[in-house]
Amino acid sequence: MQCIRKQASRSKSEELLHQAQSKKVASLNSKLLGMEDDPDLQFLLSGTELTKVRSGSWKKTRFYKLQEDCKTMWHESKKTLRSRQTFSVDDIEAVRSGRKTEGLKKYTDETQELRAFSILFKGRRKNLDLVASSEEEAKHWVSGLEKIISNVSNLCQQLKTEHWIFNCLRNADINCDNKMSPEELKSFLHDINIDVEDNYVKMLFEKCDKANSGYLEGEEIKLFYEILTQREEIDVIYGEYAKTDGLLSATNLLEFLVKEQREQVDLAYAVQLIEKYEVDKTAKAKQMMTKDGFLMYLRQPKGLIMNPAHKSVYQDMKQPLNHYFISSSHNTYLMEDQLKGPSSTEAYIRALMKSCRCVELDIYDGSDGEPVIYHGYTLTSKILFKDAISAIKEYAFKTSEYPVILSLENHCSVEQQKLMAHHLTSILGSALLTKPLGESMPSEFPSPEDLKGRILIKGKRLNKLEASFYDQSAEEEEESVTEEEDCCDEEEEREKPQEPKKLKLAKELSDIVIYCKSVGFHGFEHARNSQAFYEMSSFKEGDAMKLAEKSANECIRHNVDKLSRVYPSPFRTDSSNFDPMPLWNAGCQIVALNFQTPGRDMDLNQGLFRQNGLCGYVLKPAYLRDRGSEFDPITLTRGPWLKQKDFHVMVISAQQLPKVSQKAYSIVDPLVRVEIHGVPADIAQKETRHIQNNGFNPMWNENFQFDLYVPDLALVRFVVEDYDSVSNNDFIGQCTVPFTSLQNGYRHVRLFNKSGDLLSSAALFVHLMAADAE
């Protein structure tokens, strides 16, 4: 979160005073970030000129400098209305040294490799491609920014709040006298998303102005900070259990953990928490926890909504590949819509870094003999196939070590297919799976564990996989065979051919399709009798939704043995998404969504795959892996899937919600909606009232109750919106968590923005209780 109020102009003397104090402020912030006297940080605080690269002809020199909050980057601009521009470290997705982006590869030469670097932003903001004057300067920039990003993200919530408020106070002190007037106090409150009456400002000011001087300074500002950050709800909870001279003893803390948090722990564990989170050395020595230590615990991972054990890989990863839900992307190459949006290798990188394990490549003949990727018959831009494969090679396993599937929509001539096969084998090397695992013909899929670090190709194959074990001469006879395109292929859908399209397939490309051979779907009976386990079908969303609604149990049984892929309708020209829940309920593994398009459906995808160590694979419940399963998410007959729960949610408060509008005096009116997504019987949502003019510390204290029938498949989504009486509410933040990953008790809920990136400080505070229904 940033203080976004536009800085008022200062007089010359005020500006000199401001500059004189900046070094002191920067020193305090660098210490808070654990980077005191860091040479890279000092370099960034001094700033340098960098060449900004946009095209072959647009290369401009601009001055860049880290501001004294050690978190905001300032750079000059030649635009009349934007002579000064800033962006926050919180907005940065990654910093890459060298000519790694498409822009730097295209518009700079190899001699600039060691001086070039890129700043990549979250969301849809364009990359910032830069060239330093020397290799040493480039290293300072890359190393400094990476350290700041790392240190900021690792700050505990308490220190993040202190850092943010300290710099908002600094921003509000317009005349740089280290004092706060009533006017500056009110401006500061607007900065942190609170709109208050003048009488309240006057009351708060008089309460802190102990010296009756007409302004606040020193200890008075500290008192103001303590009043501002007081958590009334924490006071109540702490007071109920702090039964030992007004403090929490280890025994008191254990009582809280067992009774409220429903944790099965012992006294030694409570002592460990005090040792780890208590901030007062005297209290810690007596094995006591103060209110500050208690709040520190509640804001650490152990106190958050999601079970910490589920943040690492905790599921059995040795089941067959088709027994998992697999995080999957559609039209992965697109950054925006599928009519005229840009294609980019960066889109593959972003999807893979978000643990996507199945990416799509639509490949066509390139005019210069090199295959290209784009959305056929549209105005989307093109990228080289080999560049996409190189990006996939570099980033496939940075977030997850489990296998990646490349879904090929092949529209190339035989000659360019041969070149595709060459690029795949030469670039991916040993990572590419080119033959079945083991010495004999398999009867089922290998597991994600077996396939760690491997890349699989999904596409057409000229013959059966069994041919891999036949005499080589027998394969040669099949080389000229043609094969029908997948009857559900989306490109066919768009072209609407009168007759099934024939595709001449290059043997070199066919041979590297191993476990994911694309075939048409001709009914469940045909699939049972004629389809090998490694032959998989793709379904457009409409067909898949009908099957999931009318033949859900047959879908489930089909997906016990085989893989299914579902993709959005070709008519979604805006690259919007569909609800993935009905398809997961029916056991479909590869539900491909447009990762470039934020919204509820992508939130659900991110929520499902946030568990299990963000590895991109989630083991399906046992009844979705059983060939004889009677489970039907529509009818819900009796069975092991029915584990009815009473789920109680109390939405208590929120902290540091971001502003929706960048206007200085815009304040949010937040409300919270709790949604349940799962089988039809579990779908529900309930909403709090809205709180007027308070995004800093709104409080609701509202209780909701939900009945869940199939908790294994349920996702819980918390949505915060800015209420508007005359138009649609504006989105502020959300968090989606699998029901089975929730922790009971008092929990903080970290919020994510529209693009699925974590908001630096914003959180909800809730109380959850799930119990077996009577």
Q: Which residues are annotated as a binding site?
A: 52-79, 331, 360, 362, 409, 458, 460, 538, 565, 667, 669, 693, 722-724
Is residue 564 within 8 Å of residue 326, measured between CB atoms?
no
Q: Which two tokens stand for residue 370?
A: 């090199």
Is residue 476 within 8 Å of residue 491, measured between CB atoms?
no
Catalytic residue among 163, 323, 375, 423: 375
Kindly tell me the sign of the dihedral angle through the C-alpha atoms of 737, 739, 741, 745: positive
Residue of 574, 172, 211 whose CA lies nearest to 380: 574
Is residue 374 within 8 Å of residue 364, measured between CB atoms?
yes
Q: What are phi and psi of 175, to 5 degrees?
A: -90, 5
Residue 223 makes CB contacts below 8 A (sequence gap 6+) with: 207, 208, 210
Please count the other Cβ atoms lying within 10 Å of the Cβ belonging to residue 464. 14
Annotated binding-site ranges for substrate? 52-79, 458, 460, 538, 565
Residue 689 makes CB contacts below 8 A (sequence gap 6+) with: 671, 700, 702
Please count the other Cβ atoms lying within 10 Å of the Cβ belonging to residue 21. 16
Residue 747 makes CB contacts below 8 A (sequence gap 6+) with: 298, 303, 304, 305, 765, 766, 767, 768
d(Cα 727, Cα 772) in Å, to the nearest integer? Answer: 40
d(Cα 339, Cα 374) in Å, to the nearest integer? Answer: 10
Residue of 142, 187, 183, 150 whose CA lies nearest to 168: 187
Name the burial class of residue 446, with classes exposed (0-12), middle (13-18) and buried (19+) by CB atoms within 10 angstroms of its CB. buried
Q: Tell me the helices (H) and strands (E) count for the chain, helix number first.
A: 24, 30
Q: Which two tokens stand for residue 706?
A: 């939900």
Annotated binding-site ranges for Ca(2+)? 331, 360, 362, 409, 667, 669, 693, 722-724
Catalytic residue among 163, 330, 423, 767: 330
d(Cα 55, Cα 108) in Å, to the nearest integer? Answer: 9
Name the burial class of residue 436, with classes exposed (0-12), middle (13-18) and buried (19+) by CB atoms within 10 angstroms of its CB. middle
Report how far apart, in Å, the C-alpha atoms of 770 and of each of 117, 194, 536, 647, 751 are: 49, 34, 39, 4, 22
Looking at this protein, which amino acid is placed at residue 473?
Answer: S
The angle subtended at Cα 219 by Cα 163 and Cα 667, nearest 5°, is 50
Catalytic residue at 323? no
Kindly tell me the sign of the dihedral angle through the C-alpha atoms of 394, 398, 404, 408: negative
Residues comprising the chain, all counted:
774
Q: Is 770 strand, coil or helix?
A: strand
Residue 39 makes CB contacts below 8 A (sequence gap 6+) with: 140
Is residue 615 within 8 Å of residue 688, measured between CB atoms?
no
d(Cα 577, Cα 598) in Å, to the nearest integer? Answer: 9
Dihedral of the CA atoms 102, 108, 110, 116 (nearest 10)? -80
Is residue 278 within 8 Å of residue 290, measured between CB atoms?
yes
Is residue 762 within 8 Å of residue 656, measured between CB atoms?
yes
Catalytic residue at 375? yes
Active site residues: 330, 375
